[in-house]
Amino acid sequence: MARINVNPTRMELKKLKARLKTAQRGHKLLKDKTDEMIRRFSALVRETARLRRALDGEVVRVLKQFSLARGTMSKKQIALAFSMPAASLEVDCTTVNVLNIAIPKLRLEEGQGGEIYPYSFAEVTSEADRAVADAGTLLARLLRLAELEKATAMLSGEIERSKRRVNALEYVMIPDIEETIRYISQKLEENERGSLTRLMKVKSMLEERGS
Amino acid sequence: MKGKMAIIGDGDGALVFSAAGADAYAAEDGAAAKRLLKELAGRYAVIFVTDVLAAQMEEEIAAYAMQPYPIVLAVPSARGSSGYGAQLLRRQSERALGMDITGTEGER
């Protein structure tokens, strides 16, 4: 361990002792925070993985259904029916504070979308209708997944960062300070012993001269 | 705050989501998708990207990882899932915990 380069004085010793206390306290707090983040993360990542698995299949199913529906219509018809953009849905975006990380929270605005197809029913087959309706409900669940995946990503980044901090404190900063404190107190003791023996020597010399 | 959804995909799949209420943008390859993502990032809250394209622009997506918005989400295309989404989750789990607990190991 590397000793911190300071003068071995009582002042420095006092300062270092205060720093050690702060470092130890910070270490404990950070470690608790990391533990809690890990606990939440493991629950979150399981839920996300479950939803991801479910939705992966679901999305493919809807898309396949849509391509099937497309097959029954001509290219021109499709282009005609879907060239008009649908009313794009608005999402209510807020953030929630979880352990000091701003995690996004999404909510599909109610009352819009749903039944607004961008085409008239006469133009399109019922299979396509179904696919579009399914895609609508799927979208809401995809938003939930988006929210969860973002939360996992942010949390994992944060865990990594705070782990690094905990380790830096535990294995570098605290041992360094402890070693420096030891060094300074040894040095101070040595000085004290030095002056004491000097005094004794002087005293004995004086006594010799006096006798 | 109000936000919108966009999907960057290979024409076909994007169409059905555009009918359902997301704005669709077509990108043929990774380079085009990268340009699109940069352009859309400021305007949309949620951007769905087809997983094949998402795998090609990991760095660009990672740039948005530590801020709440926009959310970039990989979705499978009509050709089936490439397993990229699950792979991302696995990687995050490994990063944070040192091991994979998603239970998707070996799946494709």
A54-110 confidence digits (pLDDT tens)? 888 888 888 877 777 777 776 666 666 665 655 667 777 778 888 888 888 777 765
Average pLDDT of chain A is: 83
Whole-number Å distance between alpha carbons of A178 and A31 = 20
Asked if the model's pLDDT at residue A157 lies above 80, the reply is yes
B33 versus A109: which is more confidently predicted? B33
Residues of B in contact with A159 (CB under 8 A): 95-97
- The pLDDT score that the predictor gives to residue B10 is 72
- The pLDDT score that the predictor gives to residue B40 is 82
- The pLDDT score that the predictor gives to residue A63 is 80
For chain A, which domains are there? Answer: 10-204 (1.10.287.3240)
Residue type, position B103, single letter: G
Q: Do B21 and A117 touch (CB under 8 A)?
A: no
Tell whether B69 is covered by a domain.
Answer: yes
ipTM: 0.82
pLDDT in tens, A101-151: 888 877 776 555 445 566 666 666 777 777 777 777 788 888 888 888 888
A148 three-class SS: helix
B108 pLDDT band, cuts 50/70/90, is very low
Chain A interface includes B78 (CB < 8 A): yes
B61 three-class SS: helix
Whole-number Å distance between alpha carbons of A168 and A174 = 9
- The pLDDT score that the predictor gives to residue B107 is 46
Q: What is the pTM of this model?
A: 0.79
Asked if the model's pLDDT at residue B41 lies above 70, the reply is yes
Tell whether B106 is covered by a domain.
Answer: no
pLDDT in tens, A179-201: 999 999 999 999 999 999 999 99
Residues of A in contact with B18 (CB under 8 A): 82, 85-86, 118
CA distances from A8 to A12, A163, A173, A195, B63 (A): 7, 33, 18, 16, 47
Chain A interface includes B56 (CB < 8 A): no
For A162, name the nearest residue in chain B, comparing CA atoms only.
B96
Whole-number Å distance between alpha carbons of A147 and A105 = 6
- The pLDDT score that the predictor gives to residue A13 is 93
Tell whether B62 is covered by a domain.
Answer: yes
- The whole domain housing B38 covers 5-79
- The pLDDT score that the predictor gives to residue A82 is 65
Peptide bond just before A104 cis, omega within 30 deg:
no
Tell whether B90 is covered by a domain.
Answer: no
Residues of A in contact with B66 (CB under 8 A): 153-154, 157
Query: Are B103 and A49 within 8 A, CB to CB?
Result: yes
Tell whether B36 is covered by a domain.
Answer: yes
Residues of B in contact with A41 (CB under 8 A): 96-97
Chain A interface includes B48 (CB < 8 A): yes
Residues of A in contact with B12 (CB under 8 A): 63, 66-67, 70
> Above pLDDT 70, what percent of chain A?
83
- The pLDDT score that the predictor gives to residue A99 is 80
Tell whether B73 is covered by a domain.
Answer: yes
Asked if the model's pLDDT at residue B72 lies above 70, the reply is yes
A114 three-class SS: coil
Q: Do A150 and B104 touch (CB under 8 A)?
A: no
Tell whether B94 is covered by a domain.
Answer: no
For A49, name the nearest residue in chain B, comparing CA atoms only.
B102
CATH of the domain at B63: 3.40.50.10580
Asked if the model's pLDDT at residue B14 lies above 90, the reply is no
